[in-house]
Amino acid sequence: MSATAVLGMSTTAATVVLVIVVAVVVLLVLAAWLAERARRRRVLRASFGPEYDVAVNESRSRASAERELSDRLARHETLPIKPLDWDSQQRYLAAWESVQNGFVDRPQHAVVEADELIRAAMVERGYPAQSFEQQVADLSVEHAAVLSDYRSAHELATRPPDEQTTEDLRQAIVGYRQLFVDVVGVAPASTRSQGRGMTDDES
């Protein structure tokens, strides 16, 4: 066999080896990328709970939703969020009792006050005063479990007054209460029936 033939065979073998090595490296990189994506997805699901599915349903794609959720986590790290001290908690609990007591005679006003009370508590804890959508995004990092109630309450509360029933307003108060307890960090020591369909379990 001539030297040229041997050289040609060596070059071909080297090319085959190179192709195999490149293919293996590509597969390893792809496997690492898939593993990292799966890990990140698990982290996001654990962090956001039901809000993960909400974000996916509202986004163009799962990847877009996951980028949005990752951005929320990053933004949350920059916010000066702190728990309320005992005095502040007691002040908000007293204010909430006043809101519930006022529901009997002025249900629409009570719902507005409930929304404003939650916003005030959020600001005192360090959340910026933003639009409702941004508030939901900021709250989703630590309070995802109650955001469905908050969205429902907000939707009921922002209907035109002539389209609001007393039951709608009662449900709004109940929904606001779930987030109130989560944000303030303590539940009212006692609840009482507020009439017009509000029960001890729901108020």
**pLDDT band per the 50, 70, 90 thresholds, residue 192:** very low
Sequence-ordered alpha helix ranges (H) in the chain: 3-48, 50-58, 62-78, 86-102, 107-125, 132-143, 147-157, 166-184
Q: How far apart are CA 115 and CA 154, in angstroms?
A: 8
pLDDT of residue 193: 40
Give phi and psi for 198, each to the nearest 5.
-80, 135
pLDDT of residue 196: 40
- The string of pLDDT tens digits covering residues 4-15 is 554 455 677 778
- pTM tops 0.75, yes or no: no
